[in-house]
Structure 1
Amino acid sequence: MAGAALLVLGLGALHGVALGHVALGTLLLLLVADSRRAGPLLGRAWFFWVTLAYLTFLLLEYLLAWFNPGPWHFEPGEAFLSYVEIGFLAALVTGYWLFRFPRLALAVFLLIPAGLITRVIFEWDMVSFHRVVDGWGRFTFGDSAVKFGLWALLSTVVGIALLRSVVTLTRTHWRWALLGYLLVVIVLGGFGVLFSKTRSVWAISVIAIPAVAMLTAWPYTPRRRLSVVMVAAACIAGIFVLGIGWAFEGVVSKRWVATEATFWMLIQGDWSQLPFNSVSARLQMAREGLQVWLERPFLGHGFGSAPYFLEHSTFKEVAVRHFEHFHNTPVNLLAEFGLVGLAFFVVLFWASVFFLRGALVGDRSGVSIASAMGLFVMGVQSFFDHVIVSHRGPFMIALFCGVAVASHLERLRPRAP
């Protein structure tokens, strides 16, 4: 049952929100049912206790917002669900079952890009496709362009990393079938990244794609040829940059002009006259969020406060657009949950990165590489968007951090004398 739920989570992470919720709920119930076996092991994991403390803090913030509401309105169930998932409960639950069923990890991660591909097929519209190709639109497929670009990049990273295990399969028909599948994933993911026309995703791709390619090829490369691998990775980055410049010259030049004007005004310190564009809006929202945070620096303003403060922003262009968050995860956490909430989040996130660092050494499947690079991509993107409130972000963090938790639990497993 738990194995099936893990597979559903892998498929549903980038496909349908309902699938992801059902899978996580099932895994949580099964963990509770297995508490007699899981309890002693989890009790030795400090990650479990910090997660429990974080969830307690979120629950107290939630109750405070419920019984002593501010002037803003919030949807209690939806707000708390997103933060509970990202409160690393989902990562803890997923990690425990990946620890129990380690052989399923590869299959779960192979299903992640499949979920995105099936969603693209269901959302396909030839009219919109031609508009995008002709330069009048961006790929979205049920998400914002920024979110879709992020999911496409994560699928590409996962596809490249899993090549490590597929090339070593002994069954020829499985090897060639999965190689073909992963090559399709990488190509389609690359096109998704390009045609999302998202600058932050483009910039991260230039680093992430060559980096994951290097990590994947590293153990199969003789030391005398490591320099060749590094040059090849640099060439991949160069080709990607040139491809963006050639295919989207008009988009890049237009956005560069707008960005350049914004930065010149920032240097002069003139925030009031900034031309409104995505860069200036994010900078204005970040500044607004930090000012809001300073009013209550330790505990923040609580659930649902970000939209209220943005609607009452001192920047007119921001106020009229009804943004739901500050488009910056650290700033959003500071504004709503203060230094305490941000500290919990950062400790658990970096603990996951630390656990994965140790798992990379003996990683033959590529799952740890995919998770480490996935967290890198989402960590950088969190400064340009708010990954917590996205419908699919919590599922991806559950999987990536879940692999880290599984590695941590493996080290704590009692050894036979």
Structure 2
Amino acid sequence: MRALMLLVFISLLVVLPSAHWGVPLFGLILLVPASAVIRLSAATRKPLDAAPFNLERDDWRWVLALLAYGSLWLLDVIRSRQWPADTTGWTIPLPLWPLLAAVFLIWLLRYPPGVRVFWVAVCCGALGAGSIAFYERLILGKARASNDLNPIIFGNLSLLLGSLSLLALLWCLRRGHARSLGLALLALLAGLFGIAGSLLSGTRGGWVALPFLLILWFRTSRGLLPAAWRYSAIAALAVVFIVAVWLPSTNVAPRLAEAVTEAQQFQAGDSRGSVGLRLEMWRGGLTLWSEKPWLGWTESGVIQGLHALIDSGEISSRVHRYRQLHSDVIDTGARRGLMGVATLLMLYGVPLWLFWGRLHSGCRAETQLMAGAGLMVCVAYIDFGLSQSMLRDPLGLSGYLGLCLACWASLRGTEARAIKRAAQQPAGRAPTRH
């Protein structure tokens, strides 16, 4: 049941607009209580795959980071008496989501899903996102693909799912079955579709993350592919990306030229376009943060503070319609001060440190790939958060929490099964690297 929930959540994350909250809600109401029944029947399963294991120190570090981030945000809501609101003004209980994620993490770690579920899910999600993007741009003629979501969030998650699908390609090649070539081609197609979905969405901020994700793919593939294959793959992907940039149908080159023009206009004192407005919001957010550095202005105080800066002429009046500052760090600092930024760094840094340690530990191939996937999620969101408040968007926050938890639970399950297999092998026989 855990595997099914992860499969549906990741596969439909950007395909079905309500999946990011509907699937976790379904799991909270039905699947978590049903786990007690599953636990009673666990004795009839294979011991290697079904036996639970105790949470270790690294697992509790993850739980602590989630609790710290959600609790401080919740205290800020209590202090300001206002819940976060989306772009339409609807209030959303986002501070509760990291707390619920901690519950889900403990639940997933008791009987972790296999890695196959994760790789199949990201490939399905990337194929779905890319297919929607092609349909909206080529058939419907839309200027930006979005699936009726925020095109920035849609494009960023499409890019991330596509990059994870390229890691699934490595997993398929390592399987060694006769059908692995077909699965590998499907994973490659999913990777290209996910990246294409990002390009067709016109999301410029996310494109900066692509070189870093390719570097992570190259590092993760060390020891899994011959060096010539690794360099050839990176070169081929770079060529594909460059060609896609210059194709008129993708609208990438005009979007990049537009960003340069808007930055020049901002330097000249004219805050026009998305780049100029972002820079204006960052200036206003940093000004507010500097006035209340420790605890910030609270959820309700930031908007009031921005309006005061607009009235005094310190920032442009064009930013009045925005409810977030288009930067996770600046937005968090302005609302919750250094205390909030510290919990944000924990939310980024704890999984980043844990996954990085696994990548460098000389572990089995499956663990190495899952560590690389977790690093991709963290690095991508750090980059996305530079120009968009991803963690204040319901889809963005649920995507980070869900993908990170899925990577960690699958990785820990792989480690636990490897330990049990090693214990069952005859003495003196070294475990094989799969």
Q: TM-score range by the shorter chain?
A: 0.7 to 0.9
Matching residue of 1:129 = 138
Change (3 A) 1:118 1:193: closer
1:137 aligned counterpart, secondary structure? coil
Note the alpha carbon deviations across 1:197-222, whole angstroms, 9 max, x for none: 232222322332x3244235322335
Where does 1:9-408 land on structure 2 (aligned, <5 Å)?
9-28=9-28, 41=55, 45-66=60-81, 79=91, 81-85=93-97, 87=98, 89-115=99-125, 117-118=127-128, 129-130=138-139, 132=141, 137-173=143-179, 175-208=180-213, 210-222=214-226, 225=227, 229-230=230-231, 233-234=234-235, 236-247=237-248, 252=253, 255-256=256-257, 259-260=260-261, 262-263=263-264, 266=267, 273-310=269-306, 314=310, 315-320=315-320, 322-360=321-359, 361-362=362-363, 364-365=365-366, 366-403=369-406, 405-406=408-409, 407=411
Residue type at the aligned position of 1:202 = W
What is the deviation of 1:27? 4.6
What is the deviation of 1:19? 3.2
Does the 8 Å CA contact 1:328/1:385 hold for their aligned counterparts? yes
Note the alpha carbon deviations across 1:235-288, whole angstroms, 9 max, x for none: 63355235313547976357436625634863xxx5xx2241221111110111
Extract unaligned runs of 5+ from structure 2. Answer: 40-50, 424-434
The separation in 1 between residues aligned to 2:398 and 2:60, in whole angstroms, is 22
Q: Indicate the RMSD between aligned Cα atoms, in angstroms.
A: 3.9
Does the 8 Å CA contact 1:156/1:189 hold for their aligned counterparts? yes
Does the 8 Å CA contact 2:327/2:386 hold for their aligned counterparts? yes
Under a length normalisation based on structure 2, what TM-score does the superposition of the two structures give? 0.75
Residue type at the aligned position of 1:143 = L
Question: Please, which moves more after superposition, 397-406 or 334-343?
Answer: 397-406
The separation in 2 between residues aligned to 1:31 and 1:203, in whole angstroms, is 38
Higher relative contact order (CA 8 A, sep 6+): 1
Does the 8 Å CA contact 1:262/1:274 hold for their aligned counterparts? no
1:382 aligned counterpart, secondary structure? helix
What is the deviation of 1:333? 0.6
Aligned residues: 394
What is the deviation of 1:182? 1.5
The separation in 2 between residues aligned to 1:125 and 1:164, in whole angstroms, is 26
The separation in 1 between residues aligned to 2:292 and 2:80, in whole angstroms, is 15
Note the alpha carbon deviations across 1:354-374, whole angstroms, 9 max, x for none: 111123243534333222112
Change (3 A) 1:250 1:178: closer
What is the deviation of 1:233? 2.2
What is the deviation of 1:73? 9.1
Does the 8 Å CA contact 1:98/1:104 hold for their aligned counterparts? no
The separation in 1 between residues aligned to 2:322 and 2:206, in whole angstroms, is 20
Note the alpha carbon deviations across 1:157-183, whole angstroms, 9 max, x for none: 11100112212335434x345334313
Percent of counterpart pairs with the same letter?
Answer: 19
Change (3 A) 1:410 1:336: farther
Residue type at the aligned position of 2:95 = Y
Does the 8 Å CA contact 1:161/1:212 hold for their aligned counterparts? no
Change (3 A) 1:8 1:96: farther
